[in-house]
Amino acid sequence: MESYMEYMVKKETTGKDKAVRALCYIVIALLAIAAFLTLQPILFVAALIFGMLYRYFIYPMTDLEYEYMYCDKQITVSKIMAKEKRKDVATYDLDKMELLVPANSYRLADYKNRDLTVVDYWSLDPSEDHVPFALIYEGKSKILLDLPADFVKIVQNNAPRKVFFD
């Protein structure tokens, strides 16, 4: 029996993201104002180039959504930037997964002294009752995912000894 499920979550915009956006707006505005006041075409071109760099590189990195997909005993994480660009960032095989539990679970105590690489695909939801799930993968990585209970239940049906809700 194969299962399939998709779940998408928007990443909260952080203060750092807002500051980067504001700084870019200020630089573009100052370059445009200077171009009109001094009638220097090079400043207008600089404002135009900086605006294009902002639009195609900086803004997409500050407006993120994560899509989690479960299919064929694999969890695939995709990053969607500015609702336009989609990039598959990781695929996790259930056979190589050691554990999938809430990030505040006591079951993670055995992994505290290990040198795990932390990969964060969490939405940064600030509510108190919202806890990401931690996926321990191949004993090398701890991946934070923002999964709903029904998504985790499907994974648990296919790997019952590796998935817990406590």
The tokens describing 96, both together, are: 């190589």
Q: Is 8 in a helix, a strand, or coil?
A: strand
Neighbours of 54 (CB within 10 A): 19
Q: Is 52 in a helix, a strand, or coil?
A: helix
**What are the E-state strand segments in the chain?**
4-10, 64-71, 74-81, 85-93, 97-102, 117-121, 133-137, 141-145
Comparing CA positions, the residue from 111, 112, 70 lying closest to residue 92 is 70
Q: Is 18 in a helix, a strand, or coil?
A: helix
Task: Domain ranges for the chain, please list them.
Answer: 15-62
> Could you give the CA distance from residue 21 to residue 59 in angstroms, rounded to a whole number?
7
pLDDT digits (tens, 9 = 90+) for 95-153: 999 999 998 889 888 888 888 889 888 888 777 667 889 999 988 899 999 888 888 99
Local confidence band at 58 (pLDDT 50, 70, 90 cut-offs): very high
Comparing CA positions, the residue from 129, 103, 144, 151 lying closest to residue 11 is 144
Torsions phi, psi of 6, nearest 5? -120, 145
Q: Is 5 in a helix, a strand, or coil?
A: strand
pLDDT digits (tens, 9 = 90+) for 10-44: 998 889 999 999 999 999 999 999 999 998 899 99
pLDDT > 60? residue 1: no
pLDDT at 128: 67
> Could you give the CA distance from residue 4 to residue 104 in angstroms, rounded to a whole number?
27
